[in-house]
Amino acid sequence: MDKEELEKRTLDFSIQLVRLLKKLPKNQINQKIGGQLLGAGTSIGANYREANGAESPKDFQHKIGISFKESRETSYWFPILYSVNPEFGSEIKPLCTEADEFKRIFGAIYTTCKNKAKKNHNSQITNKNLFIFFLIIFLLFIFCFRFHFCITS
Q: Over pLDDT 90: what percentage of the chain?
A: 72
Q: How far apart are CA 122 and CA 10, in angstroms?
A: 34
Domains of the chain, earliest start first:
3-121 (1.20.1440.60)
Give the other-Cβ count within 10 Å of 16's Cβ.
15
Mind spelling out the 3-state secondary structure of 83-123?
Answer: HHCHHHHHHHHHHHHHHHHHHHHHHHHHHHHHHHHHHHHHH
Q: What is the structure's pLDDT at 134?
A: 72
78-137 pLDDT tens trace:
999 999 999 999 999 999 999 999 999 999 999 998 887 666 655 555 666 767 777 777
**pLDDT of 140 strictly over 90:** no
Residue 131: how many other CB atoms lie within 10 Å:
10
Give this prediction's pTM: 0.76
